Amino acid sequence: MGTNQIIIKNALKIVLGIVIYFFAMKLFGLDTISELRFLNFLFVVWGINSAIKNNIQKNKDTFYISNLFIGVSTSVIAVGMIIIGLITYVSLIDPGFINVLEKSFLWGSNLTLPLIIFAIAIEGIASSVICSFILMQYWKNYKIEDYAV
């Protein structure tokens, strides 16, 4: 499996997990509870871990830098897709979502969509790099022989 396929497949897994999670929160009326939004971190970790694991198992690539690149790339692409999804959601489905964010303790007041996008991009890219480095501490010691069938 090609590296680009692994990255796109796992970025889509992250996005799908986060989108389903947020719609479930809205369905159950939990979308106003800001603290629950921290759980999207689990989807990011899951997607990055899966991407690195797939690259090691399918491409037999245990090189630290290439796996770190795959982890960061996977989550950065997922962040981009999430931003596009957020723009679509706020523009077409629920423009009042910005008001929900303003009422949370995380964001503050006087929010605009571009400001939210900028904040999510910065936070997403930072967490992408951090998660990838953390997961690579686990995967750096695995060798291809560990996956021999």
Domain total in the chain? 1
Q: How far is Cα 6 from Cα 52, in angstroms, rounded to an integer?
A: 9
Q: What letter represents residue 32's amino acid?
A: T
Confidence of residue 142 (pLDDT cuts 50, 70, 90): confident
Kind and range of the H or E run holding 123: helix 113-139
**Tokens encoding 109:** 């007041």
Q: Distances from the Cα of 102 to the Cαs of 20, 44, 125, in angstroms?
A: 22, 24, 22
Tens-digit pLDDT profile for residues 90-130: 889 888 878 777 776 566 677 788 888 998 899 899 999 99
The C-alpha atoms of residue 104 and residue 95 are separated, in whole angstroms, by 16
Mapped onto helix, strand or coil, the DSSP state of residue 107 is: coil
Enclosing domain of residue 123: 3-147
Report, as an integer, the average pLDDT of 120-143.
Answer: 89
| Whole-number pLDDT of residue 84 | 95
* 146 against 92, higher pLDDT: 92
Chain segment 20-42, per-residue pLDDT in tens: 998 898 899 887 777 777 788 89
Please say if the pLDDT value at position 145 is more than 80: no
